[in-house]
Chain A
């Protein structure tokens, strides 16, 4: 089954910042301002089938996060079409939606429901989530008393218990201390082994080798190469090594 299909997808962002105030809107009626546009993605097509795990690689600003956001349905494509089948959970920015004044347990329930956990499911996995996060009695304290690592641990624990068909991961591997990272990683491998679909974005080639079998390489919004992970990864690394001595790789 085709889980995620991108066909000819383009996404642009406006670079003008003036038009957030009423005066800016009125001004734009009178003078023709040249519209500066950045194409974050241009004519990108690929397919992820059931059970596949796709790595998205490319330099900063290549359009990787935009691609994930389009897949999640957070924004709409300007051209082309994005199709999706199944329940999706996105580990984009962990803990968005947490409130400092509420306790860990309260935030857990809210965040869980935002990620798609039903009431009965939340009750069923509540203890599992708390155990996994290793927060212990801190779970009943307000989040503002937590360290940054504790917040991430809680968010990650909720997210992996949301039990999606498709998991999108954007650079969230650096969660907590080493033993917790190992636990998270083991958990994601298990997710992978149960035949679920994944898209991963990370700069760590080692992690990608363990998690993914296919890859696409984005370069300034264009799809440069798609294929088996090792093949794409090597082509990408060759290009990075070749351009590295240049003063500014961005302007290449």
Chain B
């Protein structure tokens, strides 16, 4: 098989994932719309009635700016990291580059993500926030997030073949991240001595950038963008290297 055919393979795998996910749902794609809104409603209730937070204006959109990047991250990571171990027949029977599996898995989640971004933007407009030229930053920050997730998925799906309980560790990490990312609180409330480290977390960087672009109608912090680019590129390089190194023994390990 020639490399020219790989895009067609990836397209087929992405489409397959998408069809399988939505074919047997009575509401179809609607489920993926409902999920962030349910979570948003809960958080809005808690933080306007139980622990009122007066420092933030426009709380529903504020939360959605954190929830949607976080949802994409957790969904892509947890489904991507098992894609090699759970597709043993692909690895053992089909002579294709193994990287096509994690790559198409992340891309399939990107379709899902695009739907959620569309919701986020419609919600922004419905609430009366204007479209500004800073919206042009949106593709950049999202693309960096995807690059980061791709690296993370490449690394962990390869390690998962060798260490099968990695998925439970990832589960716990995701739970911690929900609190460690400023989803329902503002980054300004994080003590200054932690904040520098917070910003290296790409989900935090994306969340903060989204709030600046959509709610404050400003450009995202340059410092933040640099940190986001740095962690995305580092993670991708590392993930690619780990995957290439470990994939040579996938056959024996599965």
Contact = CB atoms under 8 A, between A and B. Distances in A.
A116 B1 contact: yes
A230 interface: no
Interface in B74-114: 89-96
Interface in A1-53: 13-14, 19-22, 25
Q: How large is the interface on B (under 10, 10 to 19, 20 to 34, 35 or more residues)?
A: 20 to 34
A102 B19 contact: yes
Main secondary structure of the interface of A (DSSP, over half): loop
Contacts of B13: 110
Q: How large is the interface on A (under 10, 10 to 19, 20 to 34, 35 or more residues)?
A: 20 to 34
A106 B162 contact: no
Contacts of A186: none
Given A109-B12, A110-B16, A113-B5, A76 B93 contact: no
Contacts of A13: 252
Contacts of B8: 113, 118-119
B24 interface: yes
A148 interface: no
Interface string A101-128: 1100010011001111111000000000
Interface in B10-68: 12-13, 16, 19-20, 23-24
A209 interface: no
A64 B23 CA distance: 40
Contacts of A102: 16, 19-20, 23
A188 interface: no
Contacts of A189: none
A22 B165 contact: yes
Nearest to A25: B163
Interface string A65-93: 00001001111100000000001101011
B95 A73 contact: yes
Given A21-B165, A97-B89, A101-B24, 20 more contacts: A20-B162, A20-B163, A20-B253, A22-B169, A69-B251, A74-B91, A74-B95, A74-B251, A88-B95, A92-B93, A96-B94, A97-B90, A97-B93, A97-B94, A106-B19, A109-B12, A110-B13, A113-B9, A114-B12, A115-B1
Interface of A: 13-14, 19-22, 25, 69, 72-76, 87-88, 90, 92-93, 96-97, 99, 101-102, 106, 109-110, 113-119
